[in-house]
Amino acid sequence: MHIPDGYLSPSTCAALYAGAALGWYGGLQRIKRTLATRMIPLISVFAAFSFVLMMFNLPLPGGTTGHALGVTIASIVLGPAGSILAISIAIAIQALFFGDGGITTLGANCFNMAIVGSLVAYATYRIVAAGAEITSRRRLLAAGLAGYVATNAAAFLAAVEFGIQPMLFRDASGVPQYAPYALGVAIPAMMIGHLAIAGVAEGIIAAGLVAYLQAADPALLQSTSGLAPGATAACQPSMRHPQRRWWIAIALLAWGEWSASSFSSAEGRARIAAASQNRPAPPVAPTGLQRLSSLWTSPVPAYAPPVLKSTSFGYFLSGMFGVGLVIMLSLALQAYLQHRRGAGQPG
């Protein structure tokens, strides 16, 4: 679901960066007004969880891949503001250091998965679980449905963003400059796999984790439950060390993701065609896609450190490195909020 560099025009990227910036600003303001620095450790946990989860792609029909997001359980525990920040941190680290998603398209990926995904997951969960006790099985159904709907909402937005490119951006001879397939191809190619597999995976993960929290730490479900604190007297706030179990779990633990070079190889063109309703791929990469795809070279492309011969060990080290970066960014965010909070207090 990550959109690489070159698949969206600069103007599309700018518009989606603007939309993402509004979400980031709103999330930061909400955290500052309410939970402030107490929530930062949990934000780092869910950013790391999402990062690790999105590393594991699921095979989809036609040789493409998709993945769960981790956005649903983040929204259920943190609320949409915390989830937006957590998932955005994970997506930014993937793009900057591992080439999973682009730099020009970072705003688009955050808008689709972190912002829209968080808002849709949160709204769906609250609507379906309205009035249910913290330990109710209806909350499992709500979490599963929220995961399914949020993942497919994010995938649909990405498909539309792909599909409008050949309608709006062509060169003088009428050849698409960026993503080459129109809506009639882009939407089915993206949605079939996410409706059938990736959305189901996100829903199962979310429901399973809510079931775990209902038994292990129900207080983490309180803030987004819609219930008055007194209605769940047994659920005492657990903000001191709730993240310890999550760090242990993390330690144990899409269509359109082709490079420009895929268009020039027979194997790559075959994969593109198979994932696009057997529509032949363009003979060469679109000019805009080719130009923007080389804009940024990540230090560890595809989670494969070039100095290591073992792909699996390189993947493991990349995951650990990414989790470390999540912690560093979260600490920086915590320091920023503490500084702002201190500056606002009378001296």
Q: Is residue 83 included in any domain, yes or no?
A: yes
Q: Is residue 2 included in any domain, yes or no?
A: no
Of 158, 170, 175, the closest CA to residue 282 belongs to 175
Q: Is residue 291 included in any domain, yes or no?
A: yes
229: left (phi over 0), alpha (psi -120 to 50) or beta: alpha
Using alpha carbons, list the distances in angstroms from residue 314 to 98, 253, 285, 304.
12, 15, 29, 5
Q: Would you tell me how many other CB atoms lie within 10 Å of the CB of residue 59?
A: 11
Q: Is residue 30 included in any domain, yes or no?
A: yes
Q: Which residues pair with 59 in a beta bridge?
A: 65
pLDDT at 179: 85
Using alpha carbons, list the distances in angstroms from residue 170 to 16, 178, 260.
20, 8, 17
48: tokens are 């790391």
pLDDT at 24: 93
Angle subtended at Cα 3 by Cα 270 and Cα 183, rounded to the nearest 5 degrees = 70
Using alpha carbons, list the distances in angstroms from residue 153 to 172, 202, 267.
34, 12, 31
**Which amino acid belongs to residue 263?**
F
CB 94 within 8 A of CB 51: yes
Q: Is residue 24 included in any domain, yes or no?
A: yes
Q: Is residue 346 included in any domain, yes or no?
A: no
Q: Is residue 160 included in any domain, yes or no?
A: yes
- Give the CATH number of the domain where residue 249 resides: 1.10.1760.20
Structural domain of residue 54, as residue ranges?
10-227+241-341
**Interatomic CA distance for residues 140 and 137, integer angstroms:** 5
**Interatomic CA distance for residues 51 and 347, integer angstroms:** 40
Q: Would you tell me how many other CB atoms lie within 10 Å of the CB of residue 220?
A: 25
For the chain, the 3-state helix, strand and coil shares in percent, each to the nearest 5, are 70, 0, 30
Under 8 Å CB-to-CB from 228, ≥6 apart: which residues?
none
pLDDT along the chain (347 residues), means of 10: 88 96 90 66 82 70 62 93 92 88 93 96 96 93 97 94 92 86 87 88 93 89 79 48 52 51 63 63 71 74 73 75 80 73 56
pLDDT at 21: 96
pLDDT at 193: 83
**Which amino acid belongs to residue 6?**
G
pLDDT at 192: 85
Domain count, the chain: 1
Q: Is residue 110 included in any domain, yes or no?
A: yes
**Could you tell me how far CA 150 lies from the centroid of its own chain?**
10
**Interatomic CA distance for residues 314 and 114, integer angstroms:** 27
